[in-house]
Structure 1
Amino acid sequence: MTTPSAALCRGGTPPAGATVADAMLACPKTSTPDTTVAEARAVLADDHVHAVLVVDGPQLLAVVERGDLEGAPASGAVVDRGRLDGRTVAPDADLHAVRQAMTGRRLAVVDDQGALLGLLCRKRHGRGFCSREDVEARERERAERAERPEQ
């Protein structure tokens, strides 16, 4: 995998030949099969989080989005609420074509055996993809807010 170019992250047109692997986040946060619906709802309360990736070891079992949890009992297993169909992409897929076809903001990147390799995250404005630096900056902002006393 290569480091995403500034054009991919800021919203420029992906260069010819760019693949999903060029823009994916290689270490997305994951959940285990015993994660409950209540726990997934807590994760999805962050407006930057659009999907819960449920894995068993390297294997992606489900991609769960907010709508999947509507009406679900809090104690239920979140893995039963998600799906893979339409929510995954191969790392060697053409990035421009994938960007044009994306209907949601996130796609899990998986290999031929279904192992999770990363996460393709389209920016809110839809023109680029989130970078590792973007994610780290948001985490620093959250930590700083948590350290400030409420006024």
Structure 2
Amino acid sequence: MVKIPKKLPPTSTVGEVRSLFADDHVHMALVVAADGKLLTTIERADIAAEAPDTAPVVHLGRLEGRVALEWWSITWTTEWLKSQGRRRLAVVDAGGHLTGLLCLKRNGTGYCSDAGVLGRSRAQAEECVGEHPSWT
């Protein structure tokens, strides 16, 4: 489980979520209250093409079918994800507070980790510096 997923505050806009989704590795935006409670999850399909960038996103998306409780067995959760054709689930505690994000790898053989996400971010940053020498 990714324990430090990217989170957005309730004041986030459609434009901010679109920017987050510019990274094709990001499949779900997590909107979280200041106290850590997960308010909604947003996927690309939740944002209408005509939605203005300034529109708030807190009322978009949903929790149903996109959230796992932290005590669910990983075996059962993996089977459920595969049966639904899904790869992402936000993980919450009994109070609905975000504890992480389950990201089933594309090949279905395991889950993403904080270390893997950090490594990919570093590799992408190095690629950008290589393409743009003035960014050193």
> TM-score normalised to the size of structure 1?
0.80
Listed one character per residue, the Cα deviations across residues 90-112 of structure 1 (whole Å, up to 9, x for unaligned) are 11101111111113221000011
For the residue of structure 1 that corresponds to 2:41, the secondary structure is strand
Structure 1 residue 70 displacement after superposition: 2.2
- Among 72, 81, 90, the alignment partner of 1:93 is 72
Paired residues for 1:61-76 under 5 Å: 61-71=39-49, 72-76=51-55
Structure 1 residue 59 displacement after superposition: 0.7
Give 5+ residue unaligned stretches, structure 2.
none
Greater RCO (Cα-Cα under 8 Å, separation 6 or more): 1
Look up the match of 1:79: 58
For the residue of structure 1 that corresponds to 2:76, the secondary structure is helix
Structure 1 residue 131 displacement after superposition: 1.4
Listed one character per residue, the Cα deviations across residues 59-94 of structure 1 (whole Å, up to 9, x for unaligned) are 100000000012322211111111111110011101
Runs ≥4 in structure 1, deviation > 2 angstroms?
A: 70-73
Partner amino acid, structure 1, of 2:101: L
Paired residues for 1:2-151 under 5 Å: 24-57=1-34, 58-71=36-49, 72-102=51-81, 103-150=85-132
Structure 1 residue 149 displacement after superposition: 2.9
What CA RMSD, in Å, does the superposition of the two structures yield over aligned residues?
1.4
Aligned length: 128
Give 5+ residue unaligned stretches, structure 1.
1-23
CA distance in 2, matches of 1:120, 1:44: 17
Listed one character per residue, the Cα deviations across residues 19-77 of structure 1 (whole Å, up to 9, x for unaligned) are xxxxx111111001111101101101111100110001211000000000123222111
CA distance in 2, matches of 1:89, 1:41: 24
